[in-house]
Amino acid sequence: MACHQLKYSVLCVFLLFQSTFQQNVSLQMLKEIDRYTPDNYVLSLLNIELILFEIYAAKAIESSITLERNLITGTGDPEARMEIQKWGLRYNKASRAKFEMANKVAVSQRLPLSKKLRLINELLLTSAKKYDVAKDVRPSISMDNWLSPHLDDVLGSFVQAKKTNAAENIVALSGMSVTPRWSTPFQSQINRYFVKKHGTGYGSKDPLCVPMMHSLAMFETMSTDEAKGIYIRFSTANMGMLILLPRKGVSCKDILDNLSNQVNVEMNDPKHIHLILPIFKEKFDYNIAKFLNGINIYDAFKDSGFSSKPNIKINDFRVNHGVQFEPTQRLNVVEDIDTQNAQTFEVNRAFVFVIKDSDFVYAVGRVENLDGLTHKVNCSKKSDDLNS
């Protein structure tokens, strides 16, 4: 009984630590990226957090032979081993939700840190696969195809750095793509206009006719001063996507500046709602290293099972994160739908989406413009006929 209580206490501390981590690191980083990114982006916070944890943990075992030995043998340092296990379980859960992922932290192979990074990565993958009955944790061919040429360039640069006796360089590469598997099927496709008429700080743009998918089903909704939202559950992993539509006079930036309030607000009871969601695909390929310069990684992990005070600077942090909104089956295209029998939630303007479960945020995206992201379609009405 005492052992059970101890494990439960450690788990509670771990969950509190990870929630604090997302508040102190991920949300800060989101604000910085949102400030300097004019249109769309997609970020897998899980991938970024995993990479930062790998670097921190590798630095910790670099300065502690005992900790390294205990992790290899599975004895001693129970908090550190449990922490690796919980990160592995989150990776496993994302894989079950059909996240395709490929991460790599690279340093020169002549440095001791290189072996420590490989060890932490192997331990995380072993933990993720421990209870992987459905074999969801497996390499992503598409993400590996993106990662391989970038890794070749990185390793080549390390050779040049060695010639000039350059200091330790850390390069991170993160690929992620997710196509949600909605638990509620969409019944039809309707072509509607996506307009940018809400929010502040944007000039007027002509509305774009885009394909949208429609479903009449039971959904949970929420409401704050900044946004109204709807939660769409996934068919696996007890996870889902929260769509946040800014209120009039509010921008997506305002929502992201107060994202913790949006994701923690209590959801309303499920009710029948007509959901109309655009069909599109978005990729965000960017070097986010500069956005991490002001974040103290040690402070983020100081309460973890790994103890060290590393001086960590990531020279390059390239992400290629994407999302695809599409139905799980072929839809019939209809001219119009009758929405009089239930409330309608139509995503027809700039919005924020958050992939989350009851405890953690896995990915966040901002969609301001759908130009070039959807198939070309024709709308039955002209844009001039839309209500202002």
pLDDT for position 3: 40
User: Looking up tokens 């992993």, which residue turns up?
Assistant: 237
- Equal fold, 2-179+284-322 vs 188-282+331-385: no
Please tell me the predicted confidence (pLDDT) of residue 74. Answer: 93
Residue 159 has what pLDDT? Answer: 75
Nearest to 207 by CA among 345, 375, 336, 370: 370
Q: What is the DSSP string of 66-123?
A: HHHHHHHHT-S-HHHHHHHHHHHHHHHHHHHTTEEEEEEEE--TTSHHHHHHHHHHHH
Residue type, 293: N
Estimate the crossing angle of helix 112-129 against helix 65-73, to 10 degrees. Answer: 30
For 142-158, write each residue's pLDDT tens digit. 999 999 999 988 888 88
Domain locations in the chain as residue ranges:
2-179+284-322, 188-282+331-385
Residue 233, both tokens: 């559950």
Residue 309's alpha-carbon distances to 296, 297, 303, 385, in angstroms, are: 10, 9, 12, 62
Contact present, 107 and 161 (Cβ < 8 Å): no
Which among 224, 311, 320 is positioned nearest to 263, based on CA atoms? 224
HSE (side-chain half, CA atoms, 13 Å) at 87? 29
User: Of 342, 363, 339, 365, nearest to 352 (Cα)?
Assistant: 365
Helices (H), 245-344: 252-257, 259-264, 297-301
Do 361 and 355 touch, CB atoms closer than 8 A? Answer: yes
HSE (side-chain half, CA atoms, 13 Å) at 107: 22
Query: How much is the pTM?
Result: 0.89
What pLDDT sits at residue 328?
93
CATH of domain 2-179+284-322: 3.30.497
Per-residue pLDDT of the chain (388 residues; tens, 9 = 90+): 334 333 333 333 334 334 444 455 677 778 878 887 878 999 999 999 999 999 999 999 998 999 999 999 999 899 999 999 999 999 999 999 999 999 999 998 888 999 999 999 999 999 999 989 889 999 899 999 999 999 988 888 887 766 555 567 899 999 999 999 999 999 999 999 998 654 444 444 689 999 999 999 999 999 999 999 999 999 999 999 999 999 999 999 999 988 988 999 999 999 999 999 999 999 999 999 888 776 777 777 777 888 777 677 888 999 999 999 999 999 999 999 998 889 999 999 999 999 999 989 999 999 999 999 999 999 987 765 555 4
SS3 state of residue 233:
strand
For CA atoms 275, 280, 281, 284, give the dihedral sign: negative
| Choices 2.30.39.10, 3.40.50.2000, 3.30.465.10, 2.40.40.20: CATH for 188-282+331-385 | 2.30.39.10
